Copies of this chain bind each other. A is one copy, B any other.
């Protein structure tokens, strides 16, 4: 079965598999379903990726890497005040999640399924967070000494930011169907919480 545009069959399988794995998780997605969604024979999925685990891990690791590269990117942070840096981090983290709202749950479920995988991810992350952490830690100390920020550990700021942002994207779909929000109201809520999460973190820093 020829694929219309220039996109290779291998790529088509990857993309469709990614979509299905994100939608329904690893266990509930079969290679047969992937093949059907792509419009190819089921054996072809195994021809390119040999095993379902292989296919999943290929997708998972590349998504994971891409996601955290962006999370720990420090290039935009120069020439900002400390609180502006924090604001920027909250907002870009929020926006990154808005583009990948199902990544956190995928990661949680996958690591529950294959705890050994954690070692691989630790190696993948490796030095990524270090630059950001050392940069922010240094500045945080100065701010605290100058009395502009409450005495606090940077890790607590990070935990707070990640919690607020991740929880929003994992829970809002559920919450909004329970309390029956329209598409419109959901969008409004999202935009509102984007700024509110910044507010929460910044009030937390006030001396």
Residue A53 at the B interface, CB < 8 A?
no
**Which listed segment binds B: A40-48, A76-84, A107-115, A138-146?**
A107-115
Question: Is there an interface contact between B203 and A206, defined as CB atoms closer than 8 Å?
Answer: yes
Contacts of A163 in B (CB 8 A): 163-164, 166-168, 171
The answer to the question of A27 belonging to the interface, with a C-beta cut-off of 8 Å to chain B, is yes
Size band of the interface chain A makes with B = 35 or more
Q: Could you say which of A118, A121, A163 has the most chain B C-beta atoms within 10 Å of its C-beta? A: A163
A27 CB to closest chain B CB (Å) equals: 4
A193 adjacent to chain B (CB < 8 Å): yes
Tell me whether A174 and B111 are in contact (CB under 8 A).
Answer: yes
A103 to chain B, nearest CB (A): 12
Interfacial residues of chain A within 177-207, with CB under 8 A of chain B in the complex: 177-178, 180, 193, 196, 199-200, 203-204, 206
Q: Does A2 contact B (CB under 8 A)?
A: no
Closest B residue to A158 by beta carbon equals B175
Q: Are A178 and B118 in contact (CB under 8 A)?
A: yes
A105: Cβ under 8 A from any B Cβ: yes
The smallest C-beta distance from A26 to any residue of chain B, in angstroms, reads 8
Choose among B159, B166, B193 the residue that contacts A193 (Cβ–Cβ < 8 A).
B159
A27 to B199, CA, bound (A): 40
Among A91-122, those with CB < 8 Å from B are 104-105, 107-109, 111-113, 115, 118, 121-122
In the docked arrangement, what's the CA distance between A203 and B152, Å? 13
Residue of B nearest to A107 (CB): B174
Q: Specify which chain B residues have a CB less than 8 angstroms from the CB of A4 in the assembled complex.
A: none
Shortest beta-carbon contacts, A-B, top 5: A163-B167, A27-B27, A167-B167, A27-B28, A203-B203
